[in-house]
Structure 1
Amino acid sequence: MRRGHSKSRFGCKQCKKRKVKCDEAKPSCLKCVSRRQNCSYMQTTLPAPISPASTSTPSLSSSTAATSPSQSQSQPVRTRPLSSISTDDASNSSFGASLFEAKYTLLHLEILDHLRSHRLGFDKLHNPALDKFLELAFSEAYQMPYLMDEMLAFAAAHKSTLLTGDLQHLYRTESIRLQTRAVSQVDFDRPSDSGSLAPFLFSTFLGQHVLFDVFSSTLDFAKSLDKLIQCFSLHHGIRSTASKSWETVRHLMYSDPSVDYTVSETLVPLTTEGSHCDGLVDHLEHSGLEQQVLATYTQTVKVLQYLFDSVHSSDTRRMTALQEWPIRISTEYIQLLQQRRPEALVVLAYYGVLLHYAREYWAVGDSGRVLVSSISSHLGDYWSDWLTWPQQEVEQT
């Protein structure tokens, strides 16, 4: 006898082309949804056959699709429903992946609530632009999943500092996992990313988060220094990213036209006035260094002095200065740090003073004092004169 026909007569075009059985679900069959491809059906006037299984428990797609011609003509289409968005459309949108993947749990909702209610511990820094910054961040995060992941990761890191034991470990682990997922999603070469505020906001949160990871670790000085050098290298990428959308951010966040908030890829420091680094400059000039190496140190110290001037002129600069220095330093100085050059470590100790000035900030804490003390112990008594001012500064304040 002739075998029975098992193929679907009214399947979608894609399943027919692949010669596989289609479940005929509308508007997209399950096979097309799982393959994340567009699903379309041939025009036909015959009703789709109803299987015995579907007569007892009708599916949501079949019930919602069963509308009469009169109903469809009387109800004008004003918006495009989510059910009509194909997987191809979703893959081209910034939020499309969330339509098909359950990326967030109740734990993430709790972290989001912590992010909103605690404002990440920024209150003590007295930054008048903080409210506007967080408002912009939330607005962009709902469109860019990688920014949402990094904001949640940063908030989880903050919450871990308020807890102990297993709960602290839970939030610290989730913070690292979310940060890893966020970084894996970033593609700043896409036009949708490079032209938005999300890259700048993401870079800001990531830069602070990496600093926290470095200074909250319990590694020895050598391993901590390696992580700090990696952090500085990351900030060079942040500088390039931030410069693309800084003008937009500046106009949205700052209303005072007389203040210069310039951020560029060159980042030439402004003129300096203070004398905090005079002793360091004197030691460098009499150390017999090669001219090229001396020029690298001189430029780096000039950036330090500029930041010391800005911190002493405004309390709002305490947090931004500690992230601005690694953005402004040169690749040549980072290479000298990698070589463990003593002069480079002394300059890093002066950066530890900037960290100490921002010790009220939870992501920094007592890391400035620890950094200065670790460098002093590593270099020994021979370099004690070079480190006199940093040690006095972290001990007296």
Structure 2
Amino acid sequence: MLRRSHKKSWGGCLQCKRRHVKCDESRPSCVLCSMSGRDCSFSSQSQPSLDRLSASSGSPHEPIIRIHNNRSQSGIAIPDITPFTASSISNSGSPEGLSANNHHDPTLDETVNPMHMELLMHLLLEKEMFSLGIKVGDYSSNITIALKLGLKSPYLLHQLLAFSARHLAFLHPYRSASYLHQAVTLQTCAVSLFNAAWTDFDQSNCVEVLLFSSILGHHLLTDTLAKRDEGGLVPFITHYIQCVEVHRGIYTIARTVWPSLMDSELGPILSLTAEFTSRLPKGSHCQQIRELVDCSDGLGKEAKTACQIAIDYLQVGFDAVVADEETHGVRHQMIFSWTLLVPPELTDLFAAKQPEALVLLAYYAVLLHHGRNMWQVGDSGAYILGIVVEYLGPEWDRWLKYPHEMVASGLEDPT
């Protein structure tokens, strides 16, 4: 077979020499190795001198195109195609230019990841991804703000891409394993980066920290509601408690820097959220569970108070569903907010498998079933109700009658 002719490249990298192709000798990784994803031998060598770079450009007016694979500390590969002229290289004698040439950054050698670009495009175009939340302003503008903050704080960028992968796993079941792997990998890296960057909350970082925590919370809730582990209620409760604890951290973050957040881009959204969660309960959907908690001999005073607070929030959620409040996405907001607002004592009751707390969880399952058309929720309401009924047994059927009738009748309130 005839081999394509080319001029010899005496200073080419080892990979190009083995493949018998002309190397452009760009450092720290040649173009061919960069584009094909190979580990260029130049990456382990010292940087070439400025004179050699200038000499390799041919004509003094011919641009040298270097394709670096910028990978920030976050691990997200971002293509950076930067044109250099011979004059621009020779004029890089500033301290900044010398520093860039004398100190090789190994993170620049990584390969561009097209999958991350797919996640980014999906994030920009798919408005239903964040359907479980209050909506203020234009989606494109909001996501642009989040991405700009993500460039400043890579942990936020990682979590945005992780949630994008999680949504794609839902949309494309035949490729769900691949997308879920990406989601887990990116989320793990996001948490690691967040922990490494942790200092304290102040006006300079409170917005990106809250965004990161909130999106992580949505991601964990989506994962938790999708759990179908063997063992029914017991493993689900373990997952759900972990989810609630993360959400409680989000609430703590918001309270710590509330004045700064209200003066930020998140101010309008937080104002609507605060208005919604501070409403007084109106309906009677939770009347039976209130009676159960009030007359229970197995609950102490603090436990009863915690349950009643959780019941109030649930009723606010049912009120929004009945009122069909689609404005700003409030109708199903309590699905997310409930895990954020429930008192810590309720988490202990869940962990202890306290029957009254499990009946309360069955009522939350009804609220979930109202939002079953949302991608994050699906059939989780019916599933959770089923495992609660199975765990408690027939002796608790009286207290579970209302949730069971609501789900079985397609949520037509019999009262």
Q: What's the TM-score, normalizing by structure 2?
A: 0.68
Structure 2 SS opposite 1:262: helix
Q: Distance in 1 between matches of 2:176 and 2:125?
A: 19
Residue in structure 1 matched with residue 205 of structure 2 by the alignment: 195
Would the aligned equivalents of 2:134 and 2:269 in 1 still touch at CA under 8 Å?
A: no
Shift of 1:98: 10
Residue in structure 2 matched with residue 110 of structure 1 by the alignment: 118
Q: Distance in 2 between matches of 1:55 and 1:299?
A: 71
Residue in structure 1 matched with residue 238 of structure 2 by the alignment: 226
Structure 1 SS opposite 2:281: coil
Residue in structure 1 matched with residue 295 of structure 2 by the alignment: 286
Distance 1:122 1:66, change over 3 A: closer
1:297 aligned to which of 295, 307, 323:
307
Would the aligned equivalents of 1:112 and 1:152 in 2 still touch at CA under 8 Å?
A: yes
Would the aligned equivalents of 1:115 and 1:152 in 2 still touch at CA under 8 Å?
A: yes
Residue in structure 2 matched with residue 43 of structure 1 by the alignment: none
Pairing 1:182–2:195 present: no
Q: Distance in 2 between matches of 1:388 and 1:256?
A: 37
Shift of 1:349: 1.1
1:134 aligned to which of 127, 143, 160:
143
Q: Distance in 1 between matches of 2:89 and 2:301?
A: 81
Residue in structure 2 matched with residue 148 of structure 1 by the alignment: 157
Distance 1:212 1:268, change over 3 A: closer
Shift of 1:162: 1.8
Greater shift in the superposed pair: 301-310 or 337-346: 301-310
Distance 1:124 1:145, change over 3 A: closer
Residue in structure 1 matched with residue 400 of structure 2 by the alignment: 387
2:372 aligned to which of 359, 362, 372:
359
- The one-character-per-residue Cα deviations of 1:117-158 (angstroms, maximum 9, x if unpaired) are 222444698945461543432232222211111111111111
Structure 2 SS opposite 1:154: helix
Residue in structure 1 matched with residue 169 of structure 2 by the alignment: 160
Distance 1:299 1:256, change over 3 A: closer
Q: Percent identity?
A: 26
Would the aligned equivalents of 1:272 and 1:306 in 2 still touch at CA under 8 Å?
A: yes
Distance 1:320 1:249, change over 3 A: farther
| Matches for 1:1-397 after TM superposition, within 5 Å | 67=90, 100=108, 102=110, 105-122=113-130, 127-129=135-137, 131=139, 132-165=141-174, 167-186=175-194, 187-190=197-200, 195-220=205-230, 221=232, 222-244=234-256, 252=265, 261-262=273-274, 269-288=278-297, 289-313=299-323, 314-315=325-326, 316-395=329-408, 396-397=410-411
In structure 2, stretches of 5+ residues that fail to align are: 1-26, 28-42, 58-63, 67-83
Structure 2 SS opposite 1:385: helix
Shift of 1:235: 0.7
Q: Distance in 2 between matches of 1:171 and 1:324?
A: 27
Would the aligned equivalents of 1:269 and 1:302 in 2 still touch at CA under 8 Å?
A: no
Shift of 1:250: 5.1
Greater shift in the superposed pair: 246-255 or 369-378: 246-255
Q: Distance in 1 between matches of 2:111 and 2:203?
A: 21
Q: Distance in 2 between matches of 1:133 and 1:224?
A: 33
Would the aligned equivalents of 2:134 and 2:273 in 1 still touch at CA under 8 Å?
A: no
In structure 1, stretches of 5+ residues that fail to align are: 1-24, 26-32, 35-47, 89-96
Q: Distance in 1 between matches of 2:340 and 2:287?
A: 22
Shift of 1:348: 0.9
- The one-character-per-residue Cα deviations of 1:82-105 (angstroms, maximum 9, x if unpaired) are 7756999xxxxxxxx997474861
Greater shift in the superposed pair: 169-178 or 217-226: 217-226
Residue in structure 1 matched with residue 21 of structure 2 by the alignment: none
- The one-character-per-residue Cα deviations of 1:205-235 (angstroms, maximum 9, x if unpaired) are 1111101111223313221221011101111
Count of paired positions: 333
Would the aligned equivalents of 2:150 and 2:156 in 1 still touch at CA under 8 Å?
A: yes
Q: What's the TM-score, normalizing by structure 1?
A: 0.71
Distance 1:219 1:101, change over 3 A: farther
CA RMSD of aligned residues (A): 4.1
Greater shift in the superposed pair: 333-342 or 318-327: 318-327
